[in-house]
Structure formats: C-alpha cells, structure tokens
Amino acid sequence: MKSDSDLTGIQPYPTYHQSKCGLCDDGSYPVPASGDVFLLEAPKINKILLAKSDRENNLNSFVNEFKSFEHGQTILKAHYKERREEKYEVYIDFVQIIFHIRGTQHCKSYKAKLDSYIQQYIPSNTKYLLHLMDDGSKELANYVCDKIAGSFKDDLLPKILDQDQLEEIDPETSGAIVVVGSCVSNGKNLHYISRALRKYEKLRIIYFICLVSIWPQLPIVLQ
C-alpha cells in the first residue's frame, strides 16, 4: 500500500509474535508461511454442541408435514436425484407429496395452501400448462388441471405440455400460459423457457413454482 509519510512509499503492516498476537485475540487463526506458500497444518476444530435452541423456529411444523409414514413413500431424501448422476444433498420428492395430497390424510396443511394458490393465481383464460421435465412437475401440472377443470368447458380445458413441446403452442392463441415447476434450485430451466416463449406475444406468462431451494412452505407465483 502506498504511504505518503514514508520515503519508500510502503506502509508497514502490523505483525505480531506467535505467543502474543493481537489478531489472534480478535479471533483469527495463525497460518505458518514459508516464502510465498501457506503451509496448512491439521485443521483446528472448535467443538460446538447443537441444542434445541439452535434449530429453525418452523422446523417442527416442516418435519411433521413432510416426514415419512410408510416405507417407499419417503418425501425427504438424502443424496438422491431422479435421473442424472449428480445427486442433491437434500432432495424433496414432490411426486410423493402429490400422492399424499390425492390419496391420504397427510400433507393436509400444504394441500390447503396449494389449493388456495391454484384458485387465486391460475387465470380463467389459461390455455396451456407447461411443466418442467421432472416427474414432480408433471404430476403437479396434472393436479392443477384437475383442480381447475370445474371452471372450464371440456373443449376449453388448458392443454398440458412439457418444456420440449413448445412447437405445439399456437402463436395466434391469446390468453395465459402457466409454467409449472415442482422445484427450482437455480432457475436455469425457467431462463430457457422464458427466452423460448418470447415469440408468443399474445400469451401472458405465469410461473407457478411450488418449492424453491429446499424449504417448501408456500408455492411461489411470478407474473
């Protein structure tokens, strides 16, 4: 760093002896250095005992809502993914959530929230339900279609497509297209779909996403 008070132009940096280090007193850890290479020693571990007070306030309700009830019907999974080799550290199986919503008494609180959002945000002029490629998104699109079917005539019920069937969209159709996703971790698929739908100027795009990251408390709707 440049120093106007020193003829060499170098501002001295404070250094300390190992036995009495001001930086260490402030919480820093010493790292041995030889030349321009840092020689990392064995990690110094500070043990911390986790207590009940360290958990998130809504963790109890989350676990009670999505815990497993029978073997083979697990919602929360570790190091799992449907198709590709790369696995998620924490995976939420939305197919199982839809299964419980449709046929069991579990996930009742989440079902109530989901149904409320469907009624509130799926417009009556919806022409297409465009779902992401995963099985959970497909099941969610079918569930949304079933929930809104009573508000449409049979010949006007929204058409369900996946993101690889964009060519089946009529460019002259006016109304809304709802992009349905069970879970979004980074938004890459939504970015691709957004760019692909730009040419359909007569369609209003609505994104209906149920899980963002790994905390499924409320569906997310973007318009």
Q: Any idea where the domains of the chain sit in the sequence?
A: 61-222
Rounded-to-integer distance, Cα 9 and Cα 6, Å: 5
195 versus 188: the higher-pLDDT residue is: 195
**Tens of pLDDT along 125-171?**
999 999 999 899 999 999 999 999 999 988 899 999 999 999 999 99
Q: Dump the DSSP string for 112-146.
A: HHHHHHHHHHS-TTEEEEEE-SSHHHHHHHHHHHH
Residue 201: its pLDDT value, please?
92
User: Quick one: pLDDT at residue 22?
Assistant: 82
Q: What's the pLDDT score for residue 7? A: 59
CA distance 208 to 222: 7
- The mean of the pLDDT values for the chain is 82
Per-residue pLDDT averaged across 68-75, rounded? 75
Lowest mean pLDDT among 51-55, 106-110, 168-172: 51-55
Which token pair is 209? Answer: 């996403």
pLDDT of residue 216: 46
pTM of the model: 0.69
Q: What is the pLDDT of residue 4?
A: 60
Q: Where are the alpha helices (DSSP H) in 34-158?
A: 59-66, 94-103, 108-121, 135-148
Average of pLDDT values for 21-33? 77
Q: For residue 12, what is the DSSP state?
A: P
Residue 219 confidence class, pLDDT cut points 50, 70, 90: low
Copy the structure tokens of residue 129. 């339900």
Tell me which of 3.40.50, 3.30.70, 3.30.1660, 2.40.30 is the CATH number of domain 61-222.
3.40.50
